[in-house]
Amino acid sequence: MQNPRLASRYAKSLIDIAKESHSLEAVLSDMELIGKTLASSRELSLAVASPIIKGDKKAAILKAVFGDALQKITTMFIDLLISKGREANLAEIAAGYIAQYKKLNHVHTVKLTTAAPIDEELKSMVAGKVAAEMKDGKVEIDTTVEPDLIGGFVLQVGDKLFDASVRRDLMDVKSQFTKNIYVADI
């Protein structure tokens, strides 16, 4: 069940609490752990979202899964979510916390899609170029490999998309041949 408003409000509340207790980074690592765990375990995410399983059982399940790996603030927050019946939105709240943390600390996530895997040196070079253009904050590169690009790369920075792939070049050539702009109409 997607509820971005609810997730945003709970994430904002958690950010405020974490700011007051000077544990923004610790709670960030907890939220990343929770998000990855729920995304990788379908059974756990279904159990947390199930309306049939009682709240105390869900709290016990989450305690068994995470143990003492989470900060006290995070466990108290999860207990609050369970008492309010909002535990089904835990993964979405975790994602909202991460997004708000990045916005608060001026961390920009850039998506780089390439036809073949790239090494860390090239990745850091791209991050440096993008950071120089943005002039504020840090840049975090999220890389994916998509062999359909044939060659080149696609870089997405915020709402801007830079497509320097061979696939796009081929599509442009195909479009030119389809339109046949070099032959006069008879």
- Are 138 and 108 spatial neighbours (Cβ–Cβ below 8 Å)? yes
pTM value is 0.81
Higher local confidence (pLDDT), 125 or 135: 125
Helix extents (H) in 21-108: 24-40, 42-49, 55-66, 72-84, 90-104
- The model's confidence at residue 178, banded by pLDDT at 50, 70 and 90, is confident
Tokens of 67: 């143990």
Section 145-155 average pLDDT = 94
Distance CA 74, CA 84 (A): 15
- The model's confidence at residue 36, banded by pLDDT at 50, 70 and 90, is very high
**Burial, 48: exposed, middle or buried (Cβ in 10 Å; 0-12, 13-18, 19+)?**
buried
Nearest to 63 by CA among 48, 43, 41, 51: 48
Q: Is 154 helix (H, G, I), strand (E, B) or coil?
A: strand
Nearest to 87 by CA among 35, 52, 54, 49: 49
Inform me whether the pLDDT recorded for 186 exceeds 90. Answer: no
By DSSP bridging, strand 152-157 and strand 160-165 are: antiparallel
- Are 82 and 59 spatial neighbours (Cβ–Cβ below 8 Å)? yes
Q: What pLDDT score was predicted for residue 184? A: 61
